[in-house]
Amino acid sequence: MAGITLRDLTKIYDNNFEAVKSINLEIEDGEFMVLVGPSGCGKTTTLRMIAGLEDISGGELYIGGELMNKVDPRDRNIAMVFQNYALYPYMSVYDNMAFGLKLQKFDKKEIKRRIDEAAKILDISEQLDKKPKALSGGQRQRVALGRAIVRHPQVFLMDEPLSNLDAKLRVQMRAELIKLHEDLQTTFVYVTHDQTEAMTMGSRICVMDLGQIKQVATPEEIYSKPDNLFVAGFIGSPQMNFYKGTLSEEMGAYHLEGENEEYDAFRFSIDISDQESVAPYLNKEIIFGIRPEHLMFTDGEGLRAKIFVIELLGSEVNVHIRVQGDIHTVTTDAGTHFKAGDAVTVVPKPGRIHLFDPETENAIRY
Amino acid sequence: MNRLKTSTLFKIVMILYLFIILFPFIWVAITSFRPESEIWGSNALDLSEANFTLENYRLVFQTPILNSLKNSLIISGITTIYVTLVASLGAYAIARLDFKFKKLLTVIVLAVSMFPQMIVIGPIYRMFVQLGWTNSYYISLPYSNITLPVATFILITHFAQIPKEMEESATMDGSSKINTFFKIVLPLAAPGIFTAAIIVFIGAWNEFLLSLTLNTNEAWRTATVNISFLRGQFEIFWGQVTAATVIVTIPTLIIVILFQRQIVSGLTSGALKE
Question: Which of A 78-97 lie inside 8 A of B, CB atoms?
Answer: 78-80, 82-84, 86, 88-90
Q: Beta strand A155-159 with A78-81: parallel, antiparallel or unpaired? A: parallel
Q: Where in chain A is the domain with CATH 2.40.50.140?
A: 241-364
Give the nearest partner residue to B173 out of A84, A89, A100, using CB atoms. Answer: A100
* pLDDT for the residue B274: 39
* pLDDT for the residue A17: 92
Q: What is the pLDDT averaged over residues A300-322?
A: 88
* pLDDT for the residue A83: 87
* pLDDT for the residue A38: 92
pLDDT tens string A219-274: 999 999 999 999 999 998 899 999 889 998 888 888 888 887 778 788 888 888 88
* Gap between the Cα atoms of A284 and A40, Å rounded: 34
When pLDDT is cut at 50, 70 and 90, the band that residue B4 belongs to is confident
Q: Do B168 and A80 touch (CB under 8 A)?
A: yes
- B60, HSE (Cβ side, Cα atoms, 13 Å): 28
Classify A184 in phi/psi space as left (phi over 0), alpha (psi -120 to 50) or beta: alpha
* pLDDT for the residue A1: 63
* Gap between the Cα atoms of B260 and B266, Å rounded: 10
B72's enclosing H/E stretch is helix B65-96
* pLDDT for the residue B263: 66
ipTM of the complex: 0.80
pLDDT tens string B147-183: 898 899 889 988 988 888 889 999 999 899 889 999 9
Q: Do B169 and A103 touch (CB under 8 A)?
A: no
When pLDDT is cut at 50, 70 and 90, the band that residue B267 belongs to is low
CATH superfamily of A4-234: P-loop containing nucleotide triphosphate hydrolases (3.40.50.300)
Closest residue on chain A to B172 (Cα): A74
* Gap between the Cα atoms of A232 and A215, Å rounded: 10
A71 touches chain B (CB under 8 A): no
When the pLDDT of each residue in chain B is averaged and rounded to a whole number, the result is 87
* pLDDT for the residue B273: 36
* Gap between the Cα atoms of A326 and A32, Å rounded: 36
The top-level CATH class assigned to A241-364 is mainly beta
pLDDT of A317 > 60? The answer is yes
* pLDDT for the residue B5: 80
Express as a percent the part of chain B with pLDDT over 70: 95
Which chain B residues are within 8 Å of A90, Cβ to Cβ? 187-188
Lowest mean pLDDT among A171-180, A222-231, A293-302, B106-115: B106-115
Find, among A32, A43, A22, the residue nearest to A207 by Cα. Answer: A43
**Sheet of strand A32-36, all strands in order from the earlier edge strand to the far edge:** A78-81, A155-159, A187-192, A32-36, A204-209, A212-217
Q: Do B163 and A86 touch (CB under 8 A)?
A: yes
pLDDT of A181 > 50? The answer is yes
Tell me how far CA of residue A206 lies from CA of A70, A79, A154, A228, in angstroms. 25, 20, 20, 13
Closest residue on chain B to A89 (Cα): B188
pLDDT tens string A76-99: 999 999 988 889 888 999 999 999
When pLDDT is cut at 50, 70 and 90, the band that residue B253 belongs to is confident
* pLDDT for the residue B86: 93
Q: Do B172 and A83 touch (CB under 8 A)?
A: no
pLDDT tens string B69-91: 999 999 999 999 999 999 999 99
* pLDDT for the residue B264: 66
Closest residue on chain B to A98 (Cα): B173
Closest residue on chain B to A78 (Cα): B172
pLDDT tens string B222-244: 999 999 888 877 888 888 999 99
* pLDDT for the residue B271: 44
Per the confidence metrics, is the pTM higher than 0.90? no
Express as a percent the part of chain B with pLDDT over 90: 43
Q: Do A99 and B173 touch (CB under 8 A)?
A: yes
* Gap between the Cα atoms of B121 and A163, Å rounded: 57
Find, among A247, A217, A257, the residue nearest to A31 by Cα. Answer: A217
Give the nearest partner residue to B165 out of A84, A99, A100, using CB atoms. Answer: A84
pLDDT tens string A206-222: 999 999 999 999 999 99
Beta-bridge partners for A326: A323
Give the nearest partner residue to A78 out of B172, B175, B176, using CB atoms. Answer: B172
Q: In sequence order, which residues have a C-beta less than 8 Å from that of residue B81 and are 6 or more positions away?
A: none
Chain B residues whose C-beta sits inside 8 Å of any chain A C-beta: 98, 163, 165-166, 168-176, 179, 184, 187-188
b/e per residue B249-268 (b: at least 16 CB within 10 A) = bebbeebeeebeebbeebee
* pLDDT for the residue B180: 92
Q: Where in chain A is the domain with CATH 3.40.50.300?
A: 4-234
Q: Do B176 and A53 touch (CB under 8 A)?
A: no
Q: In sequence order, which residues have a C-beta less than 8 Å from that of residue B192 and are 6 or more positions away?
A: B154, B155, B157, B158, B159, B266, B269
Q: Do A74 and B169 touch (CB under 8 A)?
A: no
* Gap between the Cα atoms of A267 and B184, Å rounded: 65
A104 touches chain B (CB under 8 A): yes
Q: Do A103 and B187 touch (CB under 8 A)?
A: no
pLDDT of A105 > 50? The answer is yes
Lowest mean pLDDT among A113-117, A337-341, B216-220, B242-246: A337-341
Burial of B41 (0-12, 13-18, 19+ CB in 10 A): exposed
* Gap between the Cα atoms of B252 and A339, Å rounded: 76
When the pLDDT of each residue in chain A is averaged and rounded to a whole number, the result is 90
Which long-range contacts (C-beta less than 8 Å, at least 24 apart) are formed by B148-151? Answer: B148/B83, B148/B86, B148/B87, B148/B90, B148/B109, B148/B112, B148/B113, B149/B109, B149/B110, B149/B112, B149/B113, B150/B113, B150/B196, B150/B199, B150/B200, B150/B203, B151/B83, B151/B84, B151/B87, B151/B91, B151/B196, B151/B197, B151/B199, B151/B200
Give the nearest partner residue to B163 out of A84, A104, A147, using CB atoms. Answer: A84
Domain B62-268 belongs to what topology?
Answer: MetI-like fold (1.10.3720)
Q: Do A99 and B165 touch (CB under 8 A)?
A: no
Q: Do A79 and B172 touch (CB under 8 A)?
A: yes
